[in-house]
Amino acid sequence: MSEVPSPAEAATSAEIPAPRIQAVRTAEHSALAELPWHLPLSDWPEDLLGGLPRGISRHIVRYVEIGDEVLAIKETENRQALREFDILGVLENLDVPTVAARAYVTDRRSASGEALPGALITAYLDFSLPYRALFSRDLAQDTGGRLVDALAVLLARLHLVGFYWGDVSLSNTLFRRDADAYAAYVVDAETGELHDQLSDGQRQMDLRIARTNIAGDFLDLQAAGLIDPAIDPLAAGQRLCESYEGLWTELTRVEEFSVNERWRIDERIRRLNDLGFDLGELTVTTDLDGVSLLVEPKVVEPNHHSRRLLRLTGIGANENQARTMLNDLDSYRSAPEFAESAEATGEDSAELGEAEAARKWLEEVYKPLIQAIPEHLTHKLEPGQIFYEFVEHRRVMSRARQRDIPTMEAIAYFIVDYLANLPDESRYVDSKQF
Ligand SMILES: Nc1ncnc2c1ncn2[C@@H]1O[C@H](COP(=O)(O)OP(=O)(O)OP(=O)(O)O)[C@@H](O)[C@H]1O
Ligand SMILES: [Mg+2]
C-alpha cells in the first residue's frame, strides 16, 4: 500500500497550505489545483502520470494527463519557474517555435511545512522527439547533421527576434519530423534573454556555447553506443556554426547592385523563399552618385511554404512538409486532365487556376489519404508527415513495379506495409533518455 495520500485526500487536508498557481487557462487552473503539490515531484504517485514513463533530468520532469492533453511539469526554483514561463510566453508571441507555457506554481510547502521548489508547466509538444530518441530508432542517413541544421535554423530565428539563448544544445531542443528534415523547438529557455537586437558578440557567444554543448551531446550519444565511435563530436558543432552563418548571411546581408540590376533583388527574394523565408520589408538606398543600390532585408518572416499552403488549402504543416505538398499540388495542376478541365470551366487567370487546383487536390488527393488512416494509426505521425512519407512510399513502389500506382491502391499498401509498422510518436517519452 502506498503511504502517499491521494490528491483528493491532499486537497481536503486543511493543514497543507495551498501553493500559488498561475495558469493561462481557467479550466486548467482547477485541474492543476488538484495535484499533490505538497509532495516533491519525484514522489508523485504513479497513477497520476497516465502511464507515461518517469524521467530524470537535471530538473525532474513529469508528465500528467489532464483532459485529453498531456502537460509536462518541471520542478525548478520559484524565480526560475516564473522567469521561464514569461520567456516562453514572449517567444510564443513572437512566433518562434517553442513548447507552450501553461502555468507556473510557487509557494509550495510539504505537509510538515518545508518549502518545496516551484514548477513550470508546459503543454507536451505532440509528435516531438528528444534528439536521443531519433538515434535510438532512426537509421536515416545523417540524422545528426539534419538535427544540427534544424537547430541552426531555430537559432537564426531566435537571433532575428533578439533572443540570446545562453544554453543552445540538442538536449534543450525538441525535434519534429519535417519531411526528410527536422523542425526544432525550444524546450528549455531558462537561461535566455530578450533584447531589442543582438550584437554580433552576443550571437557569437551563443554559437560558442552551441559548439561546446553539441560536442557534449554527441559524446553522450557515443557513450550510449547510439552513434559510430569514429564520428568526430567537434565536427557536429562546427557544422552548426557553418549552417547558421550561411543562413544568417542570407537573411541579413546588405548587398550592393548597380541601378540597372534590379532583377538581382528578385533573385535575393527567391533565394530567401527557397530557405523558407519571406521578405516582409526591404530597404533600397541609392548611393550619392546614383550609380548603385544598397539592398538590405529589414523584416524576414519564416514559414514561406507553410503559409502559402495554409492560404491555399487550410492545411497546417511544417515548412518542408508544406513544400512537398505544394510540389505535389503543382504536379497535380500541370497534369493534362486538370489543364483540360480548367479550360472547360473557363479558368483564365493563373491565380484562379491555382485556387481551383488546390480545392480539387485537397478533395481528390490529400483528404482521401488522411481520411483513410484508421483511427488507431493516427498517433504514428503528424498528417503532414504522413503525406510526405506516403509520396515517398508511392514513388519507391512505382519504381520497383515500373508503373504508376493508382492512389487508393497506393494508400492501402502504405497503411498496411509501412505506417502500421511505425512506432507511435504523438506522445513519446523515452525513459532511457534521462
Ligand atoms: N512541453 C514538453 N513537451 C515534451 N517534452 C518536454 C516538455 N518539457 C520538457 N520536456 C522533456 O523534458 C526534458 C528536460 O527539460 P529541460 O531541458 O527543460 O530540463 P533540464 O532539467 O534542463 O534538463 P536537461 O538537463 O536534460 O537539459 C526535455 O529535453 C524534454 O525531453
Ligand atoms: Mg535543459
The model scores a pTM over 0.85: yes
Could you tell me which CATH class the domain 128-252 is placed in? Answer: mainly alpha
Ligand 1 binding pocket mutation candidate from 49, 58, 59, 61 (most atoms within 8 A of CB): 61
How many residues are recorded in the chain?
434
Burial of 399 (0-12, 13-18, 19+ CB in 10 A): exposed
Give the nearest ligand 1 atom to 434 CA: 26
- Ligand 1: lining residues by beta carbon, under 6 Å: 57-59, 61, 72, 74, 99, 122-125, 128, 130, 171-172, 174, 187-188
Could you tell me which CATH class the domain 7-124 is placed in? Answer: alpha beta
Give the nearest ligand 1 atom to 84 CA: 18
H or E stretch covering 201: helix 200-223
How would DSSP label each residue in 284-295? EEE-TTSSEEEE
Contact indicator for 105, 119 with CB cutoff of 8 Å? yes
Q: Cα(35) to centroid of ligand 2, in Å?
A: 24
Per-residue pLDDT of the chain (434 residues), as tens digits, is 334 444 544 445 556 778 999 998 888 889 999 999 999 998 988 766 654 544 446 788 888 988 888 999 999 999 999 999 999 999 999 999 999 999 999 999 999 999 999 999 999 999 999 898 888 766 567 889 999 999 999 999 999 999 999 999 999 999 999 999 999 999 999 999 999 999 999 999 999 999 999 999 999 999 888 888 888 999 999 999 999 999 999 999 999 988 888 889 899 999 999 999 999 898 988 888 888 888 899 889 999 999 999 999 999 999 999 999 999 999 888 877 766 665 555 555 555 588 899 999 999 999 999 999 999 999 999 999 999 999 999 999 999 999 999 989 999 999 999 999 998 888 876 443 33
User: What residue spans define the domains of the chain?
Assistant: 7-124, 128-252, 255-302, 305-421
DSSP H helical segments within 297-382, as ranges? 304-313, 319-334, 336-344, 350-361, 367-372
H or E stretch covering 184: strand 181-186
Question: Can you say how many angstroms the Cα of residue 246 is from the centroid of all Cα atoms in its chain?
Answer: 21
Map residue 191 onto helix, strand or coil. coil
Which protein residue's CA is at the shortest distance from atom 19 of ligand 1? Answer: 59
Neighbours of 304 (CB within 10 A): 21
Q: Cα(379) to centroid of ligand 1, in Å?
A: 21
Of residues 210, 357, 183, the one with CA closest to residue 276 = 183
> Which strands, in side-by-side order, build the sheet including 69-76?
20-23, 101-106, 118-123, 69-76, 61-66
Contact indicator for 252, 277 with CB cutoff of 8 Å? no
Q: Which residues surround ligand 2, an ion (CB under 5 A)?
A: 172, 188
